[in-house]
Structure 1
Amino acid sequence: MLLVDYTNQLKEDLQHLKDLFEQSSPPEDLRDKDYFEMVKEKTLPVYELLSKWEELALKIIKESKISVHPNQIVSTRENMELLLMHSFYIDVRRRRYMELNRSVLYVFDQLLRAVE
């Protein structure tokens, strides 16, 4: 099923972002255009996948009446987008980052359990 594949790929991306956050330093200049372009290039596929995932998840929730609320899907997309930026710019406290990470992971796992 496509939703399971999307969700599993996003879980891998989430782990990669967490590793990046924990092992990287913030950029020296937040206005560095080259760094911005590199971030944009690396995050674009995740943004695109996240958009497809959200659309498909909301459709399946509406049709199947599974135990995940549509607001959770929307919030998860938003939180994942925050994590994408925080992972490269390291501009949030570790505790806040981990809360967002756990929240996203929780909904991914909840969704996987509901559709399997």
Structure 2
Amino acid sequence: MNLKETTIQLKKELELLKSNYLEQEKPAHKRDKDFFLFVKEKTNPVFQLNESWETLAAEHVKNRNVRVHPQQVASTRENMDLLLMHSYYIDVKRKRYMELYQSVQYVCDLILEDFQ
């Protein structure tokens, strides 16, 4: 996949995570092995997508094909990783979650604008 396709897919996953955060109840036991395995199964593909996105985005930043800075790419990767966990464990306040969400959304939108 190229950066544009990967960014679009990342945004789709971001929306699913947000829905999960807003609609799901907190887990009864955060240390429950079955819940951990469920989260791991659900999040592994998104972690891999996020890693691929970071690699592609960093290459485009290096070649000056997009208007974002290297630090924005790294921060977006970290924020997406945080959102992945917070979306299942529901262990952060809504305001903080939405700040992370909007930050990832913003950088993805900047990248997609550069492909228009």
TM over 0.5: yes
* TM-score, L = length of structure 1: 0.96
Q: Is the 8 A contact 1:61 1:68 kept in 2?
A: yes
Give 1:115 shift. 3.1
Q: Structure 2 matches for 1:1-116, cutoff 5 A?
A: 2-116=2-116
> 2:68 and 2:86 mapped to 1: Cα distance?
26
Q: Is the 8 A contact 1:17 1:83 kept in 2?
A: yes
Give 1:86 shift. 0.3
* TM-score, L = length of structure 2: 0.96
Q: CA RMSD in A?
A: 1.1
> 2:105 and 2:66 mapped to 1: Cα distance?
18
Q: Is the 8 A contact 1:68 1:114 kept in 2?
A: no
Aligned-residue identity in percent = 52
| Counterparts in 2 of 1:6 and 1:65: CA distance versus 1, 3 Å | closer
**1:78-115 deviation per Cα after TM superposition (whole angstroms, max 9, x unaligned):** 00000000000000000110011000000000011123
> 2:114 and 2:62 mapped to 1: Cα distance?
13
Q: Which amino acid aligns with 1:21?
A: Y
Q: Aligned residues, how many? A: 116
Unaligned runs of 5+ in 2: none
Residue 64 of structure 1 aligns to a residue whose secondary structure is: coil
Structure 1 residue runs of 4 or more that deviate by more than 3 Å after TM superposition: none
